[in-house]
Structure 1
Amino acid sequence: MFTTSLRHNVSFTEALLYWLKLGFISFGGPAGQIALMHTELVEKRRWISERRFLHALNYCMLLPGPEATQLAIYIGWLMHGTLGGIIAGALFVLPSLVILIALSWIYLAFGHVGLVAGILYGIKPAVVAIVLAAAWRIGSRTLKNGWLMAIALAAFVAIAIVDVPFPFIVLGAALVGMIGGKFAPDVFKVGGGHKQANVAEESGPAIIDDHTPTPEHAGFSWGKLFRVTLIGIAMGIVSWSMLVAVFGKATPLVQMSWFFTKAALLTFGGAYAVLPYVYQGGVETYQWLTAAQMIDGLALGETTPGPLIMIVAFIGFVGAWTKTVLGPESLVLAGILGACVTTWFTFLPSFVFILAGGPVVEATRDKIRLTAPLTAISAAVVGVILSLAVFFAEHVFKLSQPLMQWDVVAIALAAASCIALLRYKLGTISLLTACAIVGLVVSSFH
């Protein structure tokens, strides 16, 4: 059961206010969001110990889906049960959804206005730099030896040149990790994602400390596992059936619901890793938006708090708007519906994974396994992210054009952004603000 200190020191209202605050300040992608939670929950508030935090994070990284969101759900669930997990996850996502709906409307209604076009011109090269910086950061932590570098290179070649579907790359990497973990375990040892500071000595024990007993609601039982899983699956099926009943089976909203459910089950390694798959479906297969709009959407997603995978809300808004799913008179309402549908089906699996699987995780706190497949998948993700950077660079810099028509200003701005991110550790929002200003200035001379 909950200890007395846990029950009294962190009230449900206090936790709710924190998760709401996090939803509005969680910039910087998954790495930045995890760092925010670590600083606040482990170091300052001492709600959870370093070891328990990292244990939860390791398992969230093993799951498909946005690991920062799942980590918030996990901690909320561990502290206040199922309702606590739902509130933590929902408040982590909702501010971003509302902001992106507003930005998507502005983009479609006024995107060709000089001011908006100038801002986007400056932000796009920064996005290329942000993706490259993400590949560098993940690669520097993950690619510890030649074997892991080879996996990353193979993944890059597979997706960028051979055009292997992303799910097969994930499965192939996991298989290599399983085999390698058995025959060459030293190659696939996982390093910690955070510096192991001895916070307990400085600030005292955490409310959920290393040896705090698992609360009663987090205890494992097969009945609870099946019950939560079936409820989650039923919610997805009922939601999908309602869309089919109202709009028909072969319609954009129904296609989005099924596609983003699949995407949610394939997002190993975070949003950057699954974006090529989302691009293939959204741009090439279903044509909900254009390649240029996809890049613009990522630029907008980088400027908002919340998980980067929230770009799905932009895709849903643009797709429902352009396909006029509610008729030409209701474009804004259609866009809002599209954004909500894509968000619901993208994040529903994450809640099911944590609320159903959390007790399993707590029951295996001293038996962490499956790290070798995770290491191999993480290495492959580096190659996939690099392929995404190449794709964006080709469109933003106009590399498909003759050499003299390449966008030299955009290339220079991206190079400067890389230096600012990697050398001077400039924050994402500061970088995007600076690049937006540069974009306005440059556009004014065109």
Structure 2
Amino acid sequence: MSQPAYTLRQLIVYFLKLGTVGFGGPVALVGYMHRDLVEQRKWISEDEYREGLALAQLAPGPLAAQLSIYLGYVHYKIPGATLVGLAFVLPSFLMVLALGYFYVASGGIPWMQAVFYGIGAAVIGIIAMGSYKLVKKTVQKDWLYWGLFALSAVATFVTEKEILWLVLAAGIVVWLVKAPPKTFKTANSIFGLPVLLQAAGSVAVNGKIAQICWFFLKAGAFVFGSGLAIVPFLYGGVVKEYQWLNDQQFMDAVAVAMITPGPVVITVGFIGYLVAGFPGACVAALATFLPCYFFTVIPAPYFRKYGGNPGIKAFVDGVTVAAIGAIAGAVAVLAKRQLTDVTTVIIAIVTVLLLLRFKKLQEPFIILGAALLGLLIKTIYHQL
């Protein structure tokens, strides 16, 4: 392996910054990583990035966090994966802890909905641009790729969740078409793990902290995809099964995740704080992110070693195309939920136009402007 063009310290600093100012959720975050690390700095190759994206999509857990862990592993193995993963998650975790403290102290965050009104619309514009760039880079002019991309996008939009077996099927189709195998022995080793990862189980746990640990361990271990997939799972457990939070508190928790940078799944820290204070936040976050760490690091050597094999490369290409289709479908689902009136549609369109016109415009400035605009609009509305 050639000497990396960057130090581990530089990579950690980058992910600390991304975790601190990286708004937009998993779609935007994986787009930022591609733009910064592949296109601009050239620290990571296109193939390495695509391998990481494919592995992150195949394994359960938050997409952006898994990709960051894999990119840390590429040149610096276990230490790189561990330190980069921590650097990426820690800033947003500290932010949701602070918000959780003020939320509990004030009995709620009344201004949050006004802020989220503007931010939610701007985020749609940001992630739409990120999705467009991924499509342009990956799908290209291949009719098979376009078909699989469209199928995955439509399925995600209709079901409002990312379907693992559809992603796997796309990999198999491209594998069979682009690099037909001479034996199916390899297939069994490739596709056996996701079957095991979906195994469900239950244990009897007593005590609130133990319940938090077990529930969020399941959330990290058995939920595939991005924040779009994990939110319904969290709602079913936190609100319906355990009744730790009511509907409004849960929606506030989701809003906190969207108005803070870093992975959307960091909302688990906020939820954990509301349920059991600082220990609850730490246990919820650790239990959610630990499985995705192991599900990324353990298979990573095999992706690194065999990623150049034509059959595996074709499989990874198919998975990547379907993963990007799922991301595009998720953008449409989020747009349907967030763009609820003319004003939010205009904010989203203006965001896209600004990003097209000013290539170096930083997303946090757009987010700040949208937040202020949302507060202004809601204030004027209530005064009328």
> TM-score by structure 2 length?
0.72
CA contact (8 A) 1:119 1:437 kept: no
Aligned counterpart, 2:375: 440
Cα shift at 1:280: 2.9
Aligned counterpart, 1:304: 260
CA contact (8 A) 2:20 2:91 kept: yes
Cα shift at 1:52: 2.9
Q: Which amino acid aligns with 1:336?
A: F
For the residues of structure 2 that align with 1:96 and 1:76, how far apart are their CA atoms? 18
- Alignment CA distance shift 1:138-1:261 (3 Å): farther
Note the aligned Cα RMSD (angstroms).
4.0
- Alignment CA distance shift 1:276-1:183 (3 Å): same
Aligned counterpart, 1:281: 237
Aligned counterpart, 1:193: none
CA contact (8 A) 2:12 2:84 kept: yes
For the residues of structure 1 that align with 2:289 and 2:266, how far apart are their CA atoms? 10
Aligned counterpart, 1:76: 72
For the residues of structure 1 that align with 2:68 and 2:41, how far apart are their CA atoms? 15
For the residues of structure 1 that align with 2:36 and 2:330, how far apart are their CA atoms? 31
Cα shift at 1:48: 3.2
Q: Give deviations 1:191-225, integer Å, cap 9, x for gaps.
A: xxxxxxxxxxxxxxxxxxxxxxxxxxxxxxx9xxx
CA contact (8 A) 2:152 2:167 kept: no
Aligned counterpart, 1:124: 117
For the residues of structure 2 that align with 1:360 and 1:118, how far apart are their CA atoms? 48
Q: Which amino acid aligns with 1:51?
A: D
SS at match of 2:354: coil
2:53 corresponds to 1:60: no
Aligned counterpart, 2:277: 335
Q: Which amino acid aligns with 2:243?
A: Q
For the residues of structure 2 that align with 1:10 and 1:134, how far apart are their CA atoms? 28
What are structure 1's unaligned runs of at least 5 residues?
Answer: 160-165, 187-221, 223-239, 321-333, 398-410
Q: How does 1:106-185 map to 2 (within 5 A)?
A: 106-110=102-106, 112=108, 116-124=109-117, 126-127=119-120, 130-131=123-124, 134=127, 138=131, 141=135, 145=146, 149=150, 152-158=153-159, 170-174=163-167, 177=170, 180-181=173-174
For the residues of structure 1 that align with 2:114 and 2:267, how far apart are their CA atoms? 18
Cα shift at 1:387: 4.7
CA contact (8 A) 2:27 2:130 kept: no
Aligned counterpart, 1:413: 343
2:370 corresponds to 1:430: no
For the residues of structure 2 that align with 1:57 and 1:343, how far apart are their CA atoms? 22
CA contact (8 A) 1:73 1:354 kept: yes
Q: Which amino acid aligns with 1:64?
A: P
SS at match of 1:295: helix
Q: Which amino acid aligns with 1:127?
A: G
Q: Give deviations 1:88-142, integer Å, cap 9, x for gaps.
A: 1111111111111001221232255xxx523532323542663586478648937
Greater displacement, 136-145 / 274-283: 136-145
Q: How does 1:14-413 map to 2 (within 5 A)?
A: 14-43=10-39, 45-110=41-106, 112=108, 116-124=109-117, 126-127=119-120, 130-131=123-124, 134=127, 138=131, 141=135, 145=146, 149=150, 152-158=153-159, 170-174=163-167, 177=170, 180-181=173-174, 249-318=205-274, 320=275, 334-367=276-309, 368=313, 369-372=315-318, 375-376=321-322, 378-379=324-325, 382-383=328-329, 386-387=332-333, 390=336, 411-413=341-343
Q: Which amino acid aligns with 1:177?
A: A
> TM-score by structure 1 length?
0.64
Aligned counterpart, 2:197: none
Cα shift at 1:261: 2.4
For the residues of structure 2 that align with 1:285 and 1:427, how far apart are their CA atoms? 41
SS at match of 1:265: helix
Greater displacement, 264-273 / 101-110: 264-273
Cα shift at 1:74: 2.1
What are structure 2's unaligned runs of at least 5 residues?
Answer: 180-188, 190-201, 356-360
Cα shift at 1:301: 2.0
- Alignment CA distance shift 1:377-1:42 (3 Å): closer
Q: Which amino acid aligns with 2:269?
A: A
